[in-house]
Structure 1
Amino acid sequence: MYRRRRPAAAAVLLAAALTLTACSSGSGKSDAAGSAAPAKPPASSAAPDPADAAPAPAGSPDAKPTGPVLPDAKLTPATGTFKENEKKYLSGRVPEKTDPAAVLQTGQEACERVRRTAKRDKDAAVGSIVAGEVRGAKDAITHLCPEQKPLLAAAEKGIGDGTRATPAAGTYRALTQEPGRCVWQARSKDGAVLASGPESPAKAGDKLTATIPAGTAEFESTGCYAWIPA
C-alpha cells in the first residue's frame, strides 16, 4: 500500500513546488515591467501595432561594432547574392563569426517598422526615430529603404527626451500621449533658465509646444517623448 501512495504524494509535492516557482517568476516579471515603462508614442497615432512592441533582436547594435568585422569580400549569404545597397549596409557592420544575413535582417526589420508606422501616422514614425525606438534607423533607411529619407530628415531635426546641448533655436511640438507628464527647460551657459514649460498644467489632448530661445546652451525635457519642429 505504501509503495502505491508514495508516487502520488511525490507528484502532489512536485506540483506544489512548480506552482510556487511559477508565482515567484511571475512576480519578478511584474516588478521589472513596473520599473521600466515604455516610451509613449505620439498622441495622434493610432493604436500601436503589436509587432512594434517586439524587442530588437539580440546582437543588433545601433552603431557599427568596435571589434573585428568580416571584410567586405566575405560578406556573402549562404545562398544567392546580396544586392549592392545591401552590401553597402553590411560593410563594416558584421562581427566576425556572424551570419551577414542575420545582420541584414535587422536592418530590413527597422525599415519595415518605419514603413508600417508611417502608413498609420507619419508623426509617430518620426517620433520613434527621434526617441531611438527604431534601432539603427539612420543606416537602415539610408541604404535599405531610401524612400523613407524624408522621415529621417525630419527626425534629425528633432529632440528626444533628456538633455540636448546647443539645440537649434525655434518652436517645437511634443509628441506624447501624456502631456500632463511633460516638462521642459531651456538654460544658458551659466545655468540661468531662459524658458520653461508648460505654463499651465496640461491635460489629455493638449498640444504642447516649446520655444527654444537663441543662445540656449541646454534644453532638457522629461516625459515629452520627442520634439519636432512645429
Structure 2
Amino acid sequence: MRNPFLACAAVVMTAAALAACGSSADGNDPEAAGAQRPAASGPAVPGPSSPGPSASGPSASGPTADAPAGDGPGAGGPAAGGTTDQGPKTPADEITPATGTFTEKQKKYLEDRVPKGMDPAAVLQTGQETCDKLRYLVKADRDTAVGAIAANEITDAADAVAGLCPQHQDLVDEAAYAYPDGAHTGKTLRPGVYRSASPTTKCSWQITGAGGEELASGSSDTGASRKITIPGSARSFTSTGCYAWLPEGNKG
C-alpha cells in the first residue's frame, strides 16, 4: 500500500505539478535563458510501490555523485548517465539545438551525453524533468525526495543536479548515506540512527550481528515513519516495505 501522501500527490500531479513548482524560490530553473524546452507532462511522483526488497545494495563510498551499487550507504543512489551511456557520442562542439541556443550550464550537462543522431534537446529534457521531479518532491515532502534518489527511482539525479539544478545537491548527498529496501551486509554498514522515508503498511526490518545473532527487528503497519539504530556490531541490515532509511544527525 502506497503512503497516503504519495497516493494523493499522484492524483494531482499531471494537472498541477509544474504549475505549483513554477514559482519556485530556487531561482535556478534549468530551462531559463536557454533553448526552447519541448512540451512535456508533469513529473511522475516516485514512491514505494511494493514492499519487496530492492535488488541493489548501498555503496561503501560517501556522498559522491556517481556512487556505484555495492554494500554501503547510497547504493540506491543515482546511476550516472541515464539512458545515454550506449554508443558513440556527439562531440561537444557539434551539440546545437534546432532553434535558439544552449546556456553554458546546459552545454556542460550535455557533454559526452548525446548519442550520435539524437536531438540534444531530448537529452536535455530528460535532465530538466528530473530537476522538476526533485523540485516538486522537495516542496511536498523532503524525505520522499531523498528516498526516491536512494531507492534509485530517479536514476539520473546526480548528473541532473550537478549540471542543471545544483540547489538540490544536498538531496543527492544525503541519499548517498541512505539505505533503500533490501539486504545490506559487511563492514560498510554505517552505525547510526536512521528514519524510514514513506514506508508502506508492510514495513519490516532486521539487524543481525556476528554469527547471525539478531540485534534488533521490528515492523509497522501504520505507514508512519519509524526510527532505528544500527550499532557498530551490526553485520547485516535487511529492510522490506520501508522504501528507504535516511540518516539522522551527523553523517560523517
Q: Quick check: 1:88 aligned with 2:79?
A: no
Gaps of 5+ in 2: 15-42, 47-79
Q: Quick check: 1:227 aligned with 2:245?
A: yes
Please give the residue correspondences for 1:51-130 in structure 2 after superposition, counting only pairs within 5 Å: 51=14, 52-53=43-44, 62=82, 65-130=85-150
- Aligned counterpart in structure 1 of residue 190 of structure 2, from 168, 182, 188: 168
- Aligned partner of 2:9: which letter? P
Output the CA distance in 2 between the equivalents of 1:89 and 1:150: 19
RMSD: 2.7
* Structure with larger Rg: 1
Q: Is the 8 Å Cα contact of residues 89 and 143 (structure 1) preserved in structure 2?
A: yes
Task: Among all aligned residue pairs of Structure 1 and Structure 2, give the percentage whose two residues are the same amino acid.
Answer: 40
Alpha-carbon offset, residue 207 of structure 1:
3.1
- Aligned counterpart in structure 1 of residue 204 of structure 2, from 172, 180, 183: 183
Assess, with a 3 A threshold, how the Cα gap between structure 1 residues 79 and 205 changes in structure 2: closer, same or farther: closer
Alpha-carbon displacement from aligned partner over 1:170-215 (angstroms, at most 9, x marks no partner): 111111342x411222345x652453321xx523154322221215
TM-score (norm 2): 0.63
Output the CA distance in 2 between the equivalents of 1:103 and 1:64: 8
Output the CA distance in 2 between the equivalents of 1:69 and 1:216: 44
Assess, with a 3 A threshold, how the Cα gap between structure 1 residues 195 and 118 changes in structure 2: closer, same or farther: same
TM-score (norm 1): 0.69
Please give the residue correspondences for 1:125-136 in structure 2 after superposition, counting only pairs within 5 Å: 125-136=145-156
- Aligned counterpart in structure 2 of residue 150 of structure 1, from 146, 153, 170: 170
- Aligned counterpart in structure 2 of residue 207 of structure 1, from 225, 232, 249: 225
Paired residues in the alignment total 183
Output the CA distance in 1 between the equivalents of 2:6 and 2:45: 18
Assess, with a 3 A threshold, how the Cα gap between structure 1 residues 47 and 207 changes in structure 2: closer, same or farther: same
Assess, with a 3 A threshold, how the Cα gap between structure 1 residues 193 and 99 changes in structure 2: closer, same or farther: farther
Q: Is the 8 Å Cα contact of residues 72 and 91 (structure 1) preserved in structure 2?
A: yes
Gaps of 5+ in 1: 1-36
**Structure whose residues are more often helix by fraction:** 1
- Aligned partner of 1:168: which letter? R
Q: Is the 8 Å Cα contact of residues 46 and 120 (structure 1) preserved in structure 2?
A: no
Q: Is the 8 Å Cα contact of residues 107 and 140 (structure 1) preserved in structure 2?
A: yes
